[in-house]
Chains A and B, each alone.
Chain A
Amino acid sequence: MNPAINSGLNSATNVLPVATPYFFYALAGLAIAGGVLVIMARNAVHSALALIVTLLAVAGLYLMLYAPFVAAVQIIVYAGGIMVLFLFVIMLVNIDRAAKDRRFNRIWPVGLVAACTLLALFVSAFVKGKALFPDRMMALAEGSNTQEIAKYLYGEAGPLGQYRMGQYTFAFEIASLLLLVAILGAVIMTKKKI
């Protein structure tokens, strides 16, 4: 490539993101609003649509963390695949009856405890911050920007694939085995005669 031609242009590597905080707040707000709508909507299909909005907003947040691969997988698997199946099932449910059901049930204290625990976890992670992460990762984070860390850790498909097929093969295979068991279980439960 002739460098003279590209004078006056930024080269491919140093394109800086614009208005980062605004995008973050917009996406985070969208995700939260979607999440609230999921539990507030009376109609199950509306809940599912709100969930799709949340999932897409989270995919946008992944993009802002320079993790395009994770964002793409989020869209393909969750927004594209699983939510279509969700809608497929929900559309067969009798909406009229579901809308008249009581929306809050007796186990709300359990939910409250779970929510409080999760909140405490988040707050402690926020307060402790640095101390929670392994030294190796911290050494990486010092003196380099988000983009470089992301590239090293999870940003691109290449390193991610190498982790999966190298360092974490066992965990990955165990997880796939778990999914296989779930699929087999579903088949056995629905089909009486195989």
Chain B
Amino acid sequence: MPNFITSYLGSTLTPGSAGSQFWALIYVLIIFTGVSVAVMAMNWLERKALAHFQIRLGPMRVGPHGLLQPIADAIKLALKEDIIPAEADQFVFWIAPLIGLLAAFTVYTVIPFGPSQAVSDMNIGVLFMLGVSSLGVLGIVVAGWASNSHYPLIGALRSSAQMVSYEVAMGLAVISAVLMTSMKSGTGTLSMIGIVQAQQEQHVWFIFQFFPLGLLAFVIFAIAMVAETNRAPFDMAEAESELTAGYHTEYSGLRWSLFMLAEYAAMISVSSIAVALWLGGWMRPFPNLLHAPAWDLIFSLFPGLTFVGLAAIAFIGTVRMPAYSFFKIQRIGLAVFAALLGFLALLLLVIAVAGRSADASVAARFNQGIGYVYWFVFKVAVFMYLFIWYRATWPRYRFDQLMKIGWKVMLPISLGVLVLTAIVGVIVS
């Protein structure tokens, strides 16, 4: 049994291609837990950041600076009465949130957190991600219809029209990135890991390839992905000032929270497509320019230093807590949290120093793996913050404007970018 478990640790393959069901299961569990925690953190961060954008405080009551608010929300939602409207289509109403959730989480099987840090590597990775994430809209559409109510139906109709329009531009932008993978090797690839490795081989992130073509394709994808996940300024499907809450007006409690979970999971997964296709995936900045062992060590300290920073923020929060007896428990809790973060930081720094040799020992590979996952998650986190920033900054589009931009601006530009990328690629190679 121990051999069965340890036999994988030094491997350079994904569990999928190594044929190791055990490790595949472990990876799936880690990713599922990680995404769920990330969604909770994102929930807190969004409320906090939005509040600060609008010069409010945001959640402050549950835990220090509202840190426990997502947990309180989760408990509240789980305890709410489970309502299915009398006139609703019972079965479809029941299954709709599950469709969205399944689609959002299935995508994570091919997300490349590192060259071997993915559940599996399919040779159709990008297509799989686009296809399965496009199934998510079925959940929304079906939910809106099954509620048997006007606002949800309008939300569902808007959502399906919007999704179909923006998927075209999105797909064309993705194809131009896939075209770029064929530059040096002659044959391109659709595998997510293969695409990142192509960027490594060509010594360039695809966002800077054939400037400004890569950048344009990236911008189109970045706009389309906001539309695809129904986020502001494209949140027509749940426009609260027009449609109450859009497609999930009739939903409450746990089912509603499943919709939210699916939405945030989908946001993370589309951001990871963008990161893998244009922003170098798991690669740290300048892996070819600054590749001396000293630089390797410096960059491998980043994960630890991030946690040092977080621990420092939590510690400052502990010190600055008002010296009133009411805050005593909160202060102790925050101090424990700071200590936990500090311990994690210490652990990561120890691993970084212990695994600094370039040989293939398990510690070195573990250290590399942490680096890959860190840089990937860091880039995705930037996108997550951008999602919040968009929501705080831009007003919602009108529906005709949305269609006009999708069909008359983004589609022609993405087609042009695709053709130009092909021409430039042929000329250069």
Complex: chain B residue closest to A82, CB-CB: B164
Determine whether A170 belongs to the interface, using a CB cutoff of 8 Å to chain B.
no
Contact in complex: A88, B127 (CB < 8 Å): no
Partner of B127, one of A1, A72, A79, A83: A72
The answer to the question of B190 belonging to the interface, with a C-beta cut-off of 8 Å to chain A, is yes
A181 at the interface (CB under 8 A from B): no
Q: Is the CB of A76 within 8 A of B10?
A: no
In the complex, are the beta carbons of A68 and B145 less than 8 A apart?
Answer: no
Bound: A52/B157 CA distance, A: 18
Instruction: Choose among B124, B144, B156, B164 the residue that contacts A81 (Cβ–Cβ < 8 A).
Output: B164
In the bound complex, do residue B131 and residue A79 qualify as a contact, i.e. CB atoms below 8 Å apart? yes
Given contacts A12-B13, A68-B122, A157-B123, contact A2 B137 (CB under 8 A): no
Q: A45-B92, A87-B160, A91-B153 are in contact. Are A9 and B127 (CB under 8 A)?
A: no
A91 lies within 8 A of B145 (CB): yes
Q: CA A157 – CA B18 in complex, angstroms? A: 23
* Complex: A79 Cα to B136 Cα, angstroms: 11
**A31 CB to nearest chain B CB (Å):** 17
The answer to whether A79 and B160 touch across the interface, beta carbons within 8 angstroms, is: no
**Cβ proximity bits A69-95 to B, threshold 8 Å, 1 near / 0 not:** 101110110011101110110011000
Say which residue of A9, A10, A81, A88 sits within 8 Å of B157 (CB atoms): A88
Interface string of B1-32 (1 = CB under 8 A from A): 00100011011110001111000000000000
**Given A6-B12, A9-B18, A52-B138, A68–B123 Cβ distance below 8 Å?**
yes
Interface: B250 (CB within 8 A): no
What is the distance, in angstroms, from B256's C-beta to the closest C-beta of chain A? Answer: 21
CA distance A79 to B106 in the complex (A): 15
Q: Which residue of B lies closest to A90 (CB)?
A: B145
Known: A45-B142, A69-B124. A15 touches B157 (CB 8 A): no
State which of B13, B19, B124, B167 has its C-beta within 8 Å of the C-beta of A157.
B124
- The answer to whether B130 and A76 touch across the interface, beta carbons within 8 angstroms, is yes
Within 103-146 of B, Cβ neighbours of A (below 8 Å) are at: 122-124, 127-128, 130-132, 134-135, 137-138, 141-142, 144-146
> Which one of A8, A84, A92, A156 has the highest number of Cβ atoms from chain B below 10 Å of its Cβ?
A84
Chain A residues contacting B163 (CB-CB under 8 Å) are 84
B132 touches A75 (CB 8 A): yes
User: Contact: B187 with A158, CB < 8 Å?
Assistant: yes
Q: Would you call A157 and B190 a contact (CB within 8 A)?
A: yes
Q: Which of A1-34 contact B (CB under 8 A)?
A: 1-2, 5-10, 12, 15
**Chain A residues whose C-beta falls within 8 Å of the C-beta of B138 in the assembled complex:** 52, 79-80, 83-84, 87
Q: Which B residues lie within 8 Å of A156 (CB)?
A: 123
| B132 lies within 8 A of A45 (CB) | no
List the A side residues contacting B122 at CB < 8 Å: 68
Q: Is A149 an interface residue (CB 8 A)?
A: no
The listed residue (B13, B145, B160) touching A45 by CB distance below 8 A is: B145
Determine if B141 and A88 form an interchain contact, defined as CB atoms under 8 angstroms apart: yes
Decide if B131 touches A91 in the complex (CB within 8 Å). Answer: no
* Cα A6 to Cα B10 with chains together (Å): 7
A45–B89 touching, CB < 8 Å: yes
> Contact at A12–B131, with CB atoms within 8 Å?
no
B13 and A6 form a contact (CB under 8 A) = yes
Apart from A1-B12, A68-B128, A87-B145, what 16 extra A-B contacts exist at CB < 8 Å? A10-B18, A10-B19, A43-B89, A45-B92, A69-B127, A75-B131, A76-B127, A79-B138, A84-B138, A85-B164, A87-B160, A88-B164, A91-B141, A91-B153, A92-B157, A157-B127
Question: Would you list the 9 A-B pairs with minimal beta carbon distance, nearest first?
Answer: A80-B134, A75-B131, A72-B127, A76-B131, A12-B17, A15-B19, A10-B19, A8-B7, A5-B10
What residues make up the interface of A, taking CB atoms closer than 8 Å to B?
A: 1-2, 5-10, 12, 15, 43, 45-46, 49, 52, 68-69, 71-73, 75-76, 79-81, 83-85, 87-88, 91-92, 156-158
29 contacts between A and B (CB under 8 A): A5-B10, A5-B11, A5-B12, A9-B8, A9-B11, A9-B19, A9-B20, A10-B18, A10-B19, A45-B142, A46-B92, A68-B123, A69-B124, A71-B124, A72-B128, A75-B128, A75-B134, A76-B127, A76-B130, A76-B134, A80-B137, A81-B167, A84-B141, A84-B164, A87-B141, A87-B145, A88-B141, A88-B157, A88-B164
